[in-house]
């Protein structure tokens, strides 16, 4: 799903659907969930009633009608924003549903195999899945090994191996067994499976307001109440001013005008976009193939200031690379490289390939095809713990080239009645001490030398960590290596701290310590023994390839199982909070201009001299054409700005890894200062347009 799906910001189908939804959402029971927009909704109803009553009383006011129309548009636009955000999630959910066809499961009861409906499976049931079966529900492999196509949830077409025991035992309902068979113990109740939860999440059906969203809603409601007070007390102030100017009280402010003023002042922009921002935050994570169990987790990701990162896969390339050939006494480096390359020609492991490449780079020894050499490839086995080739040379002699761990090669040499020199043992020990992996190369009974395999720090990772540091995030590298190696890699990668020889319980303790010091910790894990730490961390990102225990413990799952993802998750979290703050600032800053449009318009007759223009028209600094057009322009601007800001709400404000102060300054300039200036321009333009 996700990236493979249609995620274009606006696609026609979503827009049409959203337009329909925005009308359906007028249902008061739904509308009341958003207090700010609910107020606008009440205002629209009131104004509409006044317009209709006016028609019956024979004094139809087209001005009031226009206010009513734009008030309705304000509500609809806000609903539309939410519907568009939901629509994008729904599109993703639909493609998920397609995979969740009615599945038949082979349930094991006693010794029998019953065919049952997948929905009837309960936690603890055991099912057997054969090649071609769709796995009926989430579970844990308890017996067997199989390759499974998980493209339904990951979008990745290459099958993965699932086997009992170890860290690759979790299976997801809706994925398909391609080969072999497995026995699965079901771990979730129906309706609560991974896919069910994903659908619920992307649809926003179970979306609960996040802590920051709740706090922001309170602020917005508070501002709404303040402005409500301002508006309801205004007629009293006007009544005093009207008497003082010798005008009849019948000239007091009308309800439609008061409602227009109220709607302009209350934070409708952020109020209308708030839930769209929240939904799209979830959406952006899903586009990165990360599923969060709650919106709260995404927010927490923005707050994380300590990241626990596994060395392997995150900081270093998952595999070690050959970096040097160290020949034994009396052997040339080239000779060693040639043998090493020959031994690795059919070795498809990344280590093997790196040896071929290194030999080519260093000595320009070109790779040869094994079958052309009349050679037999000896693959790596757990028993022999070495690999290589048997070469038949012209003299009919068989050259057995082997590479492997020093112990394995020593045994190999000794079996061939050869001599394993102490000098090689010294090199091996020295490399091991540095944290590198030494591979010994031998031909028949002679040791040629040692290949130096080393961890390679990922390109650009140092820069990434520097960015994180700028954002105030501390990185801690977790590795099972000894402290010396760990320190060397930590220094090379530029992490702030490292934990060497780390056991799962060490991770848990470290997380607790950091949290006790007030930090929020994010970590990645996949194994069952990572589960406690994942649960303890504020953001626990579980690998999809990991165990069911790990996936349950974390509050996010990375479908790509890419450990670098944690950094992106943090960025999504930050972007979400920034978008909310920026649009709130923009919304409040907008009010300044609206006052300058509406106050002079409604107070024009007060204390007026002979020309009928009161002193407060001096506040009409935008020089709007008439009181009516001023009020209309303000309210039109107020409605249209919601539509204009939908793309920003969905995409999020631009995110850059900079310090808090720099980010603040940037957003303040754009949304604070911009928020003050933009409506002056916008309202003036609308005023010009409607007076054409």
Partner 1 sequence: MTIQDFIQLVFFFVLLIGLTPVLGNYMYKVFSGKKHIMLPFLGWLEKLTYRVSGVNPDEETNWKTYTFALLVFSLTGFVFAFLVQLIQSWLPLNPEHLAGVSWHLSFNTAVSFMTNTNWQSYAGETTLSYFVQMTVLAVQNFVSASAGIAVLLAVIRGLAGKSTDKLGNFWTDLTRITIYVLLPLSIILAIILVGQGVVQNFKHYETVQSLNGLKQIIPMGPAASQIAIKQLGTNGGGFFNANSAHPFENPTPFSNLLEMLSILLIPAALTFTYGKMAGSRRQGWTIFTVMLILLLTGLIISLYAEYSVNPVFGHNHLMEGKETRFGIVNSVLWSVSTTAASNGSVNAMHDSLSPLSGMIAMINIMLGEIVFGGVGSGLYGMVIFIIITVFIAGLMVGRTPEYLGKKIEAFEVRMAIIAILLPNMVILIFTAWACVSQAGLAGLNNAGPHGFSEILYAYSSVAGNNGSAFAGLNTNTVFYNLTLGLGMLIGRFGVIIPVMAIAGSMAGKKVTPPSSGTFRTDNSLFIGLLIAVILIIGGLTHFPALALGPGVEHMLLNAGITF
For the annotated catalytic residues, the residue numbers are 310
Side by side, which strands form the sheet with 556-558? 290-292, 556-558, 539-543, 521-525, 306-310, 474-478, 497-499
Q: Which is nearer to partner 1, 182 or 258 (CB)?
A: 258
Q: Which is nearer to partner 1, 63 or 671 (CB)?
A: 671
* Among 107, 452, 474, 551, contact with partner 1 (rule: CB under 8 A): 474
Q: Which is nearer to partner 1, 45 or 599 (CB)?
A: 599
Instruction: Tell me how far, at minimum, the Cβ of 655 lies from partner 1, in Å.
Output: 8
Instruction: Look up residue 625 and give its DSSP letter.
Output: S
Q: What is the 3-state secondary structure (H, E, C) of 256-315?
A: HHHHHHHHHHCCHHHHHHHHHHHHHHHHHHHHCCEEECCHHHHHHHHHCCEEEEEHHHHH
What Å distances lie between residue 279 and 124, 206, 273, 589, CA to CA? 34, 11, 10, 25
Contact map string, positions 653 to 672, toward partner 1, x by CB under 8 A: --x---xxx-xxx-xx--xx
**In the numeric block, which tokens belong to residue 363?**
């000595």
Residue range at the interface with partner 1 (CB under 8 A); choices 146-154, 209-217, 375-383, 485-493? 209-217
* Among 24, 49, 114, 218, contact with partner 1 (rule: CB under 8 A): 218
Q: Which is nearer to partner 1, 156 or 496 (CB)?
A: 496
* Among 45, 333, 370, 619, contact with partner 1 (rule: CB under 8 A): 619
Residue range at the interface with partner 1 (CB under 8 A); choices 71-79, 87-95, 579-587, 682-690? 579-587
Chain positions 248 to 287 lying near partner 1, rule: CB under 8 A, are 265
* Among 42, 45, 317, 606, contact with partner 1 (rule: CB under 8 A): 606
What Å distances lie between residue 610 and 249, 613, 618, 620, CA to CA? 19, 8, 16, 19
At residue 330, the 3 state secondary structure works out as coil
Q: Which is nearer to partner 1, 155 or 672 (CB)?
A: 672
Which of 156, 299, 267, 291 minimizes the C-alpha distance to 565? Answer: 291
Is residue 566 part of the contact set for partner 1 (CB under 8 A)? no
- Rounded CA gap, 127 and 173, in Å? 12
Is residue 469 part of the contact set for partner 1 (CB under 8 A)? yes
Is residue 215 part of the contact set for partner 1 (CB under 8 A)? yes
Exposure string over 140-174, b if 16+ CB within 10 A, otherwise e: bbeebebbbbbbbbbbbeebbebbbeebbbbbbbb
* Among 87, 174, 204, 302, contact with partner 1 (rule: CB under 8 A): 302
Is residue 219 part of the contact set for partner 1 (CB under 8 A)? yes
- Rounded CA gap, 43 and 38, in Å? 9
Chain positions 27 to 86 lying near partner 1, rule: CB under 8 A, are none
Q: Which residues contact 145 (CB under 8 A, 6 or more apart)?
A: 161, 162, 163, 164, 180, 182
- Rounded CA gap, 601 and 550, in Å? 63
Instruction: Tell me how far, at minimum, the Cβ of 196 lies from partner 1, in Å.
Output: 30
Is residue 244 part of the contact set for partner 1 (CB under 8 A)? yes
Instruction: Look up residue 528 and give its DSSP letter.
Output: G
Chain positions 351 to 380 lying near partner 1, rule: CB under 8 A, are none
- Residues in the interface with partner 1 (CB under 8 A) total 76
**DSSP letter string, 130-191:** -TTPBP-S-EEEEEEEEEEE-HHHH---S-EEEESSTT--EE-TT-EEEEEEEEEEE-S-TT
Q: Which is nearer to partner 1, 135 or 593 (CB)?
A: 593
* Among 6, 62, 192, 233, contact with partner 1 (rule: CB under 8 A): 233
Is residue 303 part of the contact set for partner 1 (CB under 8 A)? yes
Is residue 236 part of the contact set for partner 1 (CB under 8 A)? yes
Is residue 539 part of the contact set for partner 1 (CB under 8 A)? no
Cβ neighbours of 396 (radius 10 Å): 6
Is residue 465 part of the contact set for partner 1 (CB under 8 A)? no
Instruction: Look up residue 668 and give its DSSP letter.
Output: I
- Rounded CA gap, 85 and 67, in Å? 27
What Å distances lie between residue 70 and 194, 477, 586, CA to CA? 43, 56, 21
Residue range at the interface with partner 1 (CB under 8 A); choices 98-106, 160-168, 218-226, 522-530? 218-226
Q: Which is nearer to partner 1, 172 or 224 (CB)?
A: 224
CA atoms within 13 A on the CB side of 91: 25
Is residue 614 part of the contact set for partner 1 (CB under 8 A)? yes
Contact map string, positions 586 to 605, toward partner 1, x by CB under 8 A: --xx-xx--x---x---x--
Is residue 114 part of the contact set for partner 1 (CB under 8 A)? no
Q: Which is nearer to partner 1, 23 or 214 (CB)?
A: 214
Chain positions 305 to 344 lying near partner 1, rule: CB under 8 A, are 305
Write the Ramachandran bin of 299: left for phi over 0, alpha for psi from -120 to 50, otherwise beta.
alpha
Residue range at the interface with partner 1 (CB under 8 A); choices 20-28, 136-144, 228-236, 681-689? 228-236
Is residue 295 part of the contact set for partner 1 (CB under 8 A)? no
Given the DSSP bridges, would you call strands 539-543 and 521-525 parallel, antiparallel or unpaired? parallel
Is residue 513 part of the contact set for partner 1 (CB under 8 A)? no
Instruction: Tell me how far, at minimum, the Cβ of 315 lies from partner 1, in Å.
Output: 21
* Among 272, 573, 627, 682, contact with partner 1 (rule: CB under 8 A): 573
Side by side, which strands form the sheet with 446-457? 316-327, 446-457, 437-443, 398-404, 386-392, 375-378
């Amino acid at each position: 799903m996700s990236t493979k799906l249609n995620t274009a910001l606006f696609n026609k189908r979503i827009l049409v659907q959203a337009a329909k939804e925005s009308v359906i959402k007028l249902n008061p029971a739904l509308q009341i969930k958003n207090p700010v927009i609910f107020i606008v909704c009440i205002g629209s109803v009131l104004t509409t009633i006044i317009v209709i009553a006016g028609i019956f009383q024979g004094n139809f006011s087209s001005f009031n009608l226009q206010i009513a129309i734009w008030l309705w548009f304000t509500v609809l636009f806000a609903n539309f924003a939410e519907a568009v955000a939901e629509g994008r999630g729904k599109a993703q959910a639909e493609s998920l549903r397609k995979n969740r066809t009615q599945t038949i499961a082979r349930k094991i009861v006693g010794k029998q195999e019953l065919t049952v409906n997948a929905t009837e499976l309960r936690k603890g049931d055991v099912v057997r899945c054969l090649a071609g079966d769709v796995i009926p529900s989430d579970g844990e492999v308890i017996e067997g090994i199989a390759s499974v196509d998980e493209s339904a949830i990951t979008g990745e077409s290459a099958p993965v191996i699932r086997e009992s025991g170890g860290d690759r035992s979790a299976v997801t309902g809706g994925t398909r067994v391609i080969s072999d068979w497995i026995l699965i113990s079901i771990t979730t109740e129906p309706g609560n499976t991974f896919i069910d939860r994903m659908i619920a999440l992307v649809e926003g059906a179970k979306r609960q307001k996040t802590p920051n969203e709740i706090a922001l809603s309170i602020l917005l409601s508070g501002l709404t109440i303040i402005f409500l007070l301002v508006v309801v007390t205004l007629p009293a102030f006007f009544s005093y001013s009207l008497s003082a100017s010798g005008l009849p009280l019948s000239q007091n402010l009308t309800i439609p005008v008061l409602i227009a003023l109220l709607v302009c002042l209350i934070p409708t922009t952020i109020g209308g976009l708030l839930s769209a921002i929240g939904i799209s935050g979830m959406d952006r994570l899903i586009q990165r193939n990360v599923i969060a169990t709650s919106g709260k987790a995404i927010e927490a990701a923005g707050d994380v200031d300590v990241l626990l990162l596994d060395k392997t896969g995150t900081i270093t390339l998952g595999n070690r690379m050959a970096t040097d050939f160290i020949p034994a006494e009396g052997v040339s480096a080239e000779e060693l490289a040639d043998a090493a390359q020959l031994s690795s020609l059919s070795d498809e492991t990344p280590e093997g390939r790196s040896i071929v490449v290194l030999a080519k780079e260093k000595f320009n020894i070109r790779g040869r095809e094994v079958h052309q050499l009349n050679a037999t490839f000896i693959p790596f086995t757990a028993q022999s713990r070495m690999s290589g080739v048997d070469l038949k040379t012209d003299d009919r002699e068989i050259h057995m080239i082997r590479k492997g761990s020093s112990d394995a090669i020593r045994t190999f040499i000794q079996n061939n009645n050869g001599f394993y020199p102490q000098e090689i043992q010294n090199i091996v020990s020295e490399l091991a001490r540095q944290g590198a992996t030494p591979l010994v190369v031998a031909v028949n009974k002679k040791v040629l030398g040692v290949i130096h395999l080393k961890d390679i720090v990922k390109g650009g990772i140092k820069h990434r960590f520097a960015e994180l540091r700028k954002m105030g995030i501390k990185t801690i590298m977790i590795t099972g290596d000894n402290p010396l190696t760990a320190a060397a890699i930590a220094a090379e990668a530029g992490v702030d701290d490292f934990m060497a020889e780390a056991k799962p319980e060490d991770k848990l303790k470290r997380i607790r310590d950091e949290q006790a010091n007030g930090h929020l910790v994010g970590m990645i894990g996949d194994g069952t023994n990572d589960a406690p730490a994942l649960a303890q961390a504020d953001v626990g990102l579980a690998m999809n390839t990991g165990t069911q225990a790990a996936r349950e413990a974390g509050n996010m799952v990375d479908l790509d199982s890419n450990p670098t993802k944690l950094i992106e998750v943090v960025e999504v979290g930050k972007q979400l909070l920034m978008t909310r703050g920026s649009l709130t600032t923009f919304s409040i800053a907008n009010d300044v201009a609206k006052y300058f449009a509406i106050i002079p318009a409604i107070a024009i007759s007060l204390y007026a001299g002979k020309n009928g223009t009161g002193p407060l028209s001096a506040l009409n600094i935008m020089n709007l054409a008439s009181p009516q057009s001023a009020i209309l322009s303000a309210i039109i601007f107020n409605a249209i700005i919601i539509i204009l800001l939908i793309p920003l709400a969905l995409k999020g404000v631009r995110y850059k890894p900079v310090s808090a102060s720099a980010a603040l300054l940037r957003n303040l300039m754009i949304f604070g200062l911009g928020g003050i200036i933009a409506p002056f321009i916008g309202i003036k333009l609308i005023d010009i347009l409607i007076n054409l």
